[in-house]
A and B are shown apart, each in its own frame.
Chain A
């Protein structure tokens, strides 16, 4: 009804309510300062305010809300990892996504359509059997399927390419899905600010005031902010921000690229990923085919795209679905990812008593936005790391207790 819309627009009685208030003045101190206004920082803020009654919280975001990797990711949500510690954590993450639209009173368009990862070699099939057994043992829906199973799940896939890249089978993860990334971040931001959390955009942390083993304050482009507790959740900048506090993280930054095609009629009903082709595809609710793959081949702090990588992704996509060859690309982009040596995140304590880490999310952290926020909020509120997070501690590198998720991460995010 255009007329009603016009009336609504001009009416004083129905003012348009913004989801998130404009950035307020900075107070001199907060109980909790969260550095980074991506999904993770906002989720933590929401959980602090809603479940722990901590409302003196400021989220400091150097750019605009959720403009980092939260805005750039390809939204694969899954728990088919290989270590029991990893699966337990990501499983909780998937379960939180199942209830997220209700939790946020905001439709995050969670679509649990399942993820199919393809094997082109016997070695990959063997590793899929291990992941499937591990997944079943941990209570997730993960199973190995043969060639017929792949064809049934994804009838349009090109099975008979032959040679080294013939499809031998797959790993079917019925719990896998996608959600709208902006909705997740904005949903958390809206809920948090409704409960009193302050969100400060264009507020960059440029240094820390450390006295003894505590952070007294953070220094920003808008002034000094004293803090009770501090969380670092700055995505691709985690290494740099932690270093400002004197904490050197085992992180190296690599670009990760992705792209989408023009919208098509719905034809791809699962998430599809190929380990050997380093390519994965998902059709968005708008019909666009989102295509992603492996990281750039060398370290770089840049969100530039390269033709090489885009050609590689297009080749992988056309290989699996030859009819895509005439389809046009609509957009392409990259994010800076903070990669850890074992492809698992670094969560929990830092060498400073009141500085907490939610870092090392690399190419796989969107799916953990709800669970990392929930568990980091619990950590900050209790001043103690819960059992589920303990395996992800920074100390694991010094004790050589790595959580190797490389094989379960590299191609499928």
Chain B
């Protein structure tokens, strides 16, 4: 069993969570051409390294952010979406 520490509910089995994938910058709908929209929709961060991604604690429907290493699967930190996103 792998643990994920939810900023609201504390350490829980990762089965209780749903991954929503890497955070993406939201393009400006008025100033975005089709290729950029396509990029936004279909290309997510997939480099071998650390990503910041959205997760949801399913029972409490709480969305938050996590920094996770895509190779070692180490969860480096989890934090509320109101906190700064840069690496600590």
Within 8 Å of chain A (Cβ to Cβ): is B26?
no
Segment from A19-27, A138-146, A246-254, A261-269 that makes contact with B: A246-254
**Contact call A250/B1, Cβ cutoff below 8 A:** no
Chain B residues with Cβ under 8 A from A398's Cβ?
34-35, 38
**Contact call B70/A299, Cβ cutoff below 8 A:** yes
**Contact call B1/A301, Cβ cutoff below 8 A:** no
In the complex, which of the residues A250, A299, A304, A399 contacts B21, with contact meaning CB atoms closer than 8 Å? A299
Nearest 8 CB-CB pairs, A to B? A298-B19, A250-B42, A398-B38, A397-B42, A341-B42, A301-B71, A250-B43, A252-B46
The answer for the CA separation of A297 and B53 in the assembled complex, in Å, is 13
Across the interface, name the chain B residue whose C-beta is closest to A251.
B46
Chain A residues with Cβ under 8 A from B48's Cβ?
240, 301
Chain B contact residues, majority secondary structure: mixed
The answer for the CA separation of A399 and B41 in the assembled complex, in Å, is 12
* Residues on B facing A (Cβ under 8 Å): 1-2, 15, 18-19, 21-22, 34-35, 38, 41-44, 46-48, 51, 53, 70-71, 73
The answer for the CA separation of A28 and B21 in the assembled complex, in Å, is 42
Known A239-B46, A302-B71, A306-B2; 12 more pairs at CB < 8 Å: A240-B48, A297-B18, A299-B22, A299-B46, A299-B70, A300-B71, A301-B48, A304-B73, A307-B1, A341-B42, A398-B34, A398-B35
Within 8 Å of chain B (Cβ to Cβ): is A387?
no
Q: How far is the CB of B76 from chain A (nearest CB, A)?
A: 14
**Contact call A397/B38, Cβ cutoff below 8 A:** yes
Chain A residues with Cβ under 8 A from B53's Cβ?
298-299
Given contacts A243-B47, A250-B43, contact A302 B73 (CB under 8 A): yes
**Contact call B70/A300, Cβ cutoff below 8 A:** yes
Within 8 Å of chain B (Cβ to Cβ): is A308?
yes
In the complex, which of the residues B21, B41, B43 contacts A248, with contact meaning CB atoms closer than 8 Å? B43
Across the interface, name the chain B residue whose C-beta is closest to A302.
B73
Chain A residues with Cβ under 8 A from B43's Cβ?
248-250
The answer for the CA separation of A398 and B37 in the assembled complex, in Å, is 8
Within 8 Å of chain B (Cβ to Cβ): is A400?
yes
In the complex, which of the residues B2, B15, B44, B71 contacts A252, with contact meaning CB atoms closer than 8 Å? B44
The answer for the CA separation of A302 and B71 in the assembled complex, in Å, is 6
**Contact call B19/A299, Cβ cutoff below 8 A:** yes
The answer for the CA separation of A250 and B35 in the assembled complex, in Å, is 13
Q: Which residues of A (317-371) have their CB < 8 Å from a CB of B? A: 341
* Residues on A facing B (Cβ under 8 Å): 239-240, 243, 248-253, 297-302, 304, 306-308, 341, 397-400
What would 21 A/B residue contacts be, using CB atoms closer than 8 Å? Answer: A240-B47, A240-B48, A249-B43, A252-B21, A252-B44, A297-B19, A298-B53, A299-B19, A299-B22, A299-B51, A299-B53, A300-B73, A306-B2, A308-B1, A341-B41, A397-B38, A397-B41, A398-B34, A398-B38, A400-B34, A400-B38
Q: How far is the CB of B38 from chain A (nearest CB, A)?
A: 5
Q: How far is the CB of B50 from chain A (nearest CB, A)?
A: 12
Chain A residues with Cβ under 8 A from B41's Cβ?
341, 397
Chain B residues with Cβ under 8 A from A248's Cβ?
43
Across the interface, name the chain B residue whose C-beta is closest to A298.
B19
The answer for the CA separation of A248 and B35 in the assembled complex, in Å, is 13
The answer for the CA separation of A306 and B73 in the assembled complex, in Å, is 12
Chain B residues with Cβ under 8 A from A252's Cβ?
21, 44, 46
The answer for the CA separation of A398 and B39 in the assembled complex, in Å, is 8
Q: How far is the CB of A111 from chain B (nearest CB, A)?
A: 36
Across the interface, name the chain B residue whose C-beta is closest to A338.
B46
Chain A residues with Cβ under 8 A from B15's Cβ?
308
The answer for the CA separation of A42 and B34 in the assembled complex, in Å, is 37
Given contacts A252-B21, A306-B2, contact A301 B42 (CB under 8 A): no
Q: How far is the CB of B9 from chain A (nearest CB, A)?
A: 18
**Contact call B38/A301, Cβ cutoff below 8 A:** no
Chain B residues with Cβ under 8 A from A250's Cβ?
42-43
Q: How far is the CB of A237 from chain B (nearest CB, A)?
A: 10
Chain A residues with Cβ under 8 A from B44's Cβ?
252
Chain B residues with Cβ under 8 A from A243's Cβ?
47
Chain A residues with Cβ under 8 A from B47's Cβ?
240, 243
The answer for the CA separation of A100 and B85 in the assembled complex, in Å, is 53
Chain B residues with Cβ under 8 A from A240's Cβ?
47-48
Chain A residues with Cβ under 8 A from B2's Cβ?
306
Chain A residues with Cβ under 8 A from B21's Cβ?
252, 299
